[in-house]
Homo-oligomer: A and B are copies of this chain.
Amino acid sequence: MKKYLCGDAHEAEKNIPDDNIASELADFLKIFADMTRIKILYALLDMELCVHDIATILNMEQSAISHQLRLLRQYKLVKVRKEGKSSYYSLNDSHIHEILIRGYEHISE
């Protein structure tokens, strides 16, 4: 597996995560790397909201919000509670809450 290298780069190779890990990490970060989803998550920071209200607050179509909420659900970032005609979304656990708070700190540096 020897390859031609300018420097002693084999050392560096050890730190590179393999494809599975790297893409898993990339996918996880991708969910947060979208303005709409960021806004949704921060909207849910300390209260649950129904789809209609999220759409209203963000001034976006209900459909767009639903699509994004599906993604957030799939990645277990939010959970749903159905009551009557509405679906109420909230952050899935305090871990997500913590990540968002950290994000805020980081951006305000």
Contact = CB atoms under 8 A, between A and B. Distances in A.
A7 B57 contact: no
B107 A12 contact: no
Interface residues of A, number: 49
B57 A13 contact: yes
A6 B38 contact: no
Best-surrounded residue of A7, A30, A103 (most CB of chain B within 10 A): A7
Given A53-B5, A53-B6, A53-B7, A16 B42 contact: yes
Nearest to A99: B106
**For chain A, what secondary structure do more than half of its interface residues adopt (helix, strand, loop), or is it mixed?**
helix
Interface of A: 3-9, 11-13, 15-17, 19, 21-30, 32-35, 38-39, 42-47, 49-50, 52-54, 56-58, 86, 103-104, 106-107
Given A33-B33, A35-B22, A35-B23, A5 B42 contact: no
16 contacts: A5-B57, A6-B53, A7-B49, A12-B43, A15-B43, A16-B43, A17-B38, A22-B35, A22-B42, A26-B34, A26-B35, A26-B38, A27-B33, A29-B32, A30-B33, A33-B33
